[in-house]
């Protein structure tokens, strides 16, 4: 057994255990990799093993179940995590002697015989392994490794073909997408700098000026990122700011803004002229906004504030542009946040939709007559997308729908939606509104029961670079 291999599996097993205990993969993996002295090859292996084992959990459990007499949910967490880790290696074609031996070597001595026996049983059964066939929800949930309720929701909303395409893309490892700060560099100079640093660079598929990069090292260490010439941000997030269309000199409110990617993107489009009030409920998350603004030199433009977005503490009718990138179930970003598919529950969608309606009322109050409001969520559920727009049409008639992004975006109610399979980006829903009257916006549901707050997960970002912003 090679020391490097043992270290890689040990780090991966540690990450899987911490994720099972409530940690977030896109935060944990970069943290662990910064703490461990691994080669580039082993860093890439750890990332693949962790993300792949989490993504394919349902399929892995399907492979494990027939060769153990103990129910998977009853196994000790380290044993269960090790079995999934080993089964994933077998699934992706790592030779059985390495997949089994390396994995057995990092588990407690008392469990090695059991783990060895189960993994060798899986190896004897394939490849190919017998998997459920057909396009029924149960078979798809195992074969494409998603909770049945997510599969059913996508099939109901978009049909079987689009549902399968989305579920398939969710299981791909995404590249990192960068936004170019044209106040500090040009598009061509950014491409040249990144390629000189050893990155593969391609143009965006959705936002032409975006840069898709592939790199196995620590992106945070790149001077282009550290010095604010480029920022990791998925193309859909960049497209949301394009729909908001901030102009130099605007007063802009970004509700629920952490970690600050959209706030700083707006400041870039405003050429550093105007004001961006970037609010978030949690002080720690607001500090990430402040750091993002400082890295890009926008301390004089971006004003981070701690506030409940339902009551943001700003004057009514005060802002030219308001962005509500609302907390949501996140079903559009499952390829980058694979653990979210197992964390979010159907009842969360109901509670989040109620919160989103409250936030939309607050946003509508803040935008001035003639101003623009953009509602965006990185999810695909009916209740958080088209149903929110239908509610707004009935209860907030002063918000007049405007043109939404065009193809490959799809019309969805009065807004537009993008499935992950449409452009191999995050999934996103966007609705663009103009405030048309001067009457005070009243809460259409003043006697509503308090919303059960669903704590949003730590801020996500392309490729897991949460420190830079969404």
* Residue 305 contacts residue 279 (beta carbons within 8 Å): yes
The residues, ordered by sequence, that sit 6+ positions from 94 with a Cβ below 8 Å of its Cβ are none
Token representation of residue 138: 């149960």
Counting runs of H as helices and runs of E as strands, what totals does the chain give? 19, 13
Token representation of residue 79: 């044993």
Here the contacts of 110-114 (C-beta below 8 Å, separation 24 or greater) are: 111/76, 111/78, 111/79, 111/82, 114/68, 114/79
Rounded CA-CA distance 177/175 in Å is 6
Angle 39-44-45 (CA atoms, 0-180°, nearest 5)? 95
CA dist 350 to 255, 329, 356, 383, 466, Å? 20, 10, 10, 7, 26
328 is annotated as an active-site residue: no
Angle (deg, nearest 10), helices 148-158 and 160-170:
130
Classify burial at 265, counting beta carbons within 10 Å of its beta carbon; exposed 0-12, middle 13-18, buried 19 or more. buried
Name the residue among 54, 52, 3, 10 with its Cα closest to residue 32: 10
Token representation of residue 287: 């500090």
Rounded CA-CA distance 171/334 in Å is 8
Rounded CA-CA distance 469/292 in Å is 7
For 213, the 3-state DSSP assignment is strand
Residues forming beta bridges with residue 400, ordered by sequence position: 434
DSSP tag of 427: -
Token representation of residue 71: 């129910």
Name the residue among 430, 385, 427 with its Cα closest to residue 240: 430
Token representation of residue 153: 């929701």
Residues 79, 169, 378, 417: which is the catalytic one?
378
Q: Give me the residue label for tokens 């009916």.
A: 382
The residues, ordered by sequence, that sit 6+ positions from 90 with a Cβ below 8 Å of its Cβ are 63, 96, 99, 100, 119, 122, 123, 126, 127
* Residue 57 contacts residue 342 (beta carbons within 8 Å): yes
Q: Are strands 275-280 and 302-306 parallel, antiparallel or unpaired?
A: parallel
Residues classed as catalytic: 378
């Amino acid at each position: 057994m090679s020391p490097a291999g043992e270290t890689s599996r040990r780090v991966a097993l540690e990450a899987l255990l911490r994720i099972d205990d409530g940690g977030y993969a896109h935060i944990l993996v970069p943290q662990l990799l910064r703490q461990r002295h691994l080669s580039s090859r082993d860093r890439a292996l750890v990332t693949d093993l962790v993300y792949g084992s989490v993504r394919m959990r349902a399929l892995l459990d399907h492979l494990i179940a027939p060769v153990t007499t103990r129910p998977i949910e009853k196994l000790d967490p380290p044993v269960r995590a090790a079995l999934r880790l080993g089964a994933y290696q077998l699934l992706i074609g790592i030779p059985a002697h390495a997949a089994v031996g390396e994995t057995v070597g990092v588990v407690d001595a008392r469990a090695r015989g059991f783990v060895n026996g189960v993994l060798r049983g899986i190896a004897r059964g394939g490849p190919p392994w017998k998997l459920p066939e057909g396009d029924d929800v149960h078979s798809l949930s195992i074969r494409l490794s998603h909770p049945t309720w997510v599969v059913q929701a996508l099939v109901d909303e978009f049909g079987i073909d689009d549902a399968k395409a989305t579920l398939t893309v969710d299981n791909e490892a995404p590249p990192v997408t960068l936004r170019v700060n044209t106040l500090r560099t040009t598009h061509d100079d950014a491409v040249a700098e990144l390629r000189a640093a050893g990155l593969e660079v391609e143009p965006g598929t959705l936002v032409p000026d975006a840069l898709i990069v592939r790199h196995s090292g620590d992106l945070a260490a790149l001077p282009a990122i550290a010095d604010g010439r480029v920022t990791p941000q998925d193309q859909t997030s960049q497209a949301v700011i394009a729909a908001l269309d901030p102009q130099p000199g605007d007063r802009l409110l970004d509700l629920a803004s952490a970690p600050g990617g959209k706030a700083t993107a707006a400041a870039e489009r405003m050429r550093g002229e105007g004001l961006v009030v970037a609010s978030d409920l949690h002080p720690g998350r607001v500090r990430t906004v402040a750091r993002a603004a400082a890295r890009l030199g926008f301390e004089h433009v971006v004003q981070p504030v701690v506030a409940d977005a339902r009551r943001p503490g700003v004057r009514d009718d005060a802002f030219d542009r308001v962005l509500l990138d609302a907390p949501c179930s996140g079903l559009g970003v499952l390829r980058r946040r694979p653990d979210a598919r197992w964390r979010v529950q159907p009842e969360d969608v109901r509670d989040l939709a109620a919160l989103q309606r409250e936030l939309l009322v607050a946003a509508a109050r803040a935008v001035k007559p003639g101003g623009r409001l953009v509602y965006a969520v990185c999810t695909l559920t009916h209740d958080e997308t088209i149903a929110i727009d239908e509610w707004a049409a009935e209860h907030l008639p002063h918000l007049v729908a405007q043109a939404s992004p065009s193809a490959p975006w799809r019309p969805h109610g009065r807004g537009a939606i993008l499935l992950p399979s449409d452009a191999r980006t995050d999934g996103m829903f966007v609705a663009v509104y103009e405030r048309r009257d001067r009457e005070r916006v009243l809460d259409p549901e003043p006697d509503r029961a308090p919303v059960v707050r669903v704590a949003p997960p730590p801020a996500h970002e392309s490729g897991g670079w949460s420190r830079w912003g969404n």
